């Protein structure tokens, strides 16, 4: 990942929030523009973390699949990231999508089978995955921008 992207996103967010937003008279439109600026700011801050978050999520899915599903090592090995290999964000995302497909198939199987214990464990994994993708920080940033 190029740090230039982060700098460009930060500059765009600063321009939107500090320069253009105050020029708009309509309060609703100013708020909308501030929201877009805050989203861009969050994107800039989260950009470098995206790869490691995806890698962590992929490992969590693989661990659950190996421990709690019908799949074995050969089914999930193509999606493992070896420590000395650097996958791009796009490759990590493709692996993530493929692992989610495998996970969804296993959930369907567990639902048909009626295995409540494993379903609870996979729902815990889903909560963990969802928690990582929340943008609740946006509220604080928007409040700062309005002050």
* pLDDT, tens digit (0-9, with 9 covering 90-100), for 54-75: 888 999 999 999 999 998 888 8
HSE-CB for 49 with a 13 A CA cutoff: 7
Q: Which of 27-41, 78-92, 102-116 has the highest mean pLDDT?
A: 102-116
Inter-residue contact 119 to 110 (CB < 8 Å): yes
Query: 102 falls in which pLDDT band (50, 70, 90)?
Result: very high
pLDDT given for residue 97 in this prediction: 93
Q: What is the mean pLDDT of residues 9-17?
A: 85
The answer to whether residue 142 scores a pLDDT higher than 60 is no
Q: What is the mean pLDDT of residues 141-146?
A: 49
Q: What are the structural domain ranges in the chain?
A: 3-146
Tokens (6 digits) for 68: 């709690």
Q: Whole-angstrom Cα distance, residue 81 to residue 97?
A: 15
DSSP-based three-state secondary structure for 84: coil
Reference 53, options 139, 1, 136, 131; nearest CA is: 131
The answer to whether residue 1 scores a pLDDT higher than 50 is no
Angle between helices 27-68 and 3-14 (to 10 degrees): 150
35-60 burial, b for 16+ CB within 10 Å, e for fewer?
bebbbbbbbbeebeeebebbbebbee
pLDDT given for residue 40 in this prediction: 85
Reference 21, options 146, 132, 126, 135; nearest CA is: 146
The answer to whether residue 108 scores a pLDDT higher than 90 is yes
SS (H, E, C) 108-135: HHHHHHCCHHHHHHHHHHHHHHHHHCCC
């Amino acid at each position: 990942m190029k740090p230039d992207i982060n700098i460009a996103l930060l500059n765009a967010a600063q321009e939107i929030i500090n320069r253009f937003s105050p020029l708009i008279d309509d309060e609703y439109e100013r708020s909308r523009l501030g929201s877009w600026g805050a989203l861009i700011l969050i994107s800039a801050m989260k950009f470098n973390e995206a790869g490691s978050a995806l890698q962590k999520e992929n490992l969590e899915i693989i661990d659950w699949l190996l421990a709690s599903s019908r799949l074995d090592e050969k089914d999930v090995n193509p999606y493992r990231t070896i420590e000395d290999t650097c996958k791009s964000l796009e490759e990590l995302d493709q692996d993530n999508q493929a692992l989610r497909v495998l996970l969804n198939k296993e959930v369907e199987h567990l639902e048909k089978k009626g295995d409540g214990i494993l379903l609870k464990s996979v729902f815990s994994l889903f909560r963990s995955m969802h928690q990582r993708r929340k943008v609740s920080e946006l509220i604080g940033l928007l409040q700062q921008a309005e002050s």
